Structures are given as structure tokens and as C-alpha cells.
Amino acid sequence: MADLSIIVSEIELKLRKLLDEKKRLEAENKRLAEENEALERENLALRHAAEELQDKINKSTIVNALDNEGEIEEGRKLIKDLVKEIDRCVSILNSKE
């Protein structure tokens, strides 16, 4: 009978250890699930931020291209004005001959 009592006590002890381990693992699982959800929310927020920044980059690129186009137009206008000035000078010189 004493052997049986010892065996039952050992089984009870192992069962308690298993139950404690189960509780610990359940708590860890819950913590990891919450951490995973938080990381997924952060990931989503970072993706949205990246998309917004990419949109800003695209808009800046377009604005810079338009600014450069404006500079090109100003350069063309300046060249046309210089050509007109040269033509006027040439016509003045031709008229004096």
C-alpha cells in the first residue's frame, strides 16, 4: 500500500508540474499573440507612412521637373531675345553700308 501511495504522490507531483507548465505556456502564448498584434498594427502604420512619403517624393519630383521646365523656357526666351538683339544689330550695320 505504501508503494501505491508513493506512486500516486509522484503522479500528483508530475501532474501539478504539467499543469503549472501548461499555465505558463498559455500565458506566454497570450503575451506573444498580443505582441504579434501590436507588431502587425505597427507594420501597417509604417506601410502607410512609407506610401505617404513615396507620394511626397513623387510630387516633389514632378514639381522639380516643372521648375526645370520653367528654367528651360526662361533660357529659350533669353536666347530668342538675344537672337532678336543680334538681328537688330546686324540690320543696323547693314543699313549703314
What integer is the mean pLDDT of 16-45?
Answer: 97
d(CA 88, CA 34): 81
45-48's contacts with Cβ under 8 Å and 24+ in sequence apart are none
Q: Is 97 helix (H, G, I), strand (E, B) or coil?
A: coil
Each residue of 46-71: pLDDT tens digit? Answer: 999 999 999 898 888 777 766 766 67
Quick one: DSSP state of residue 6?
Answer: H
pTM of the model: 0.55
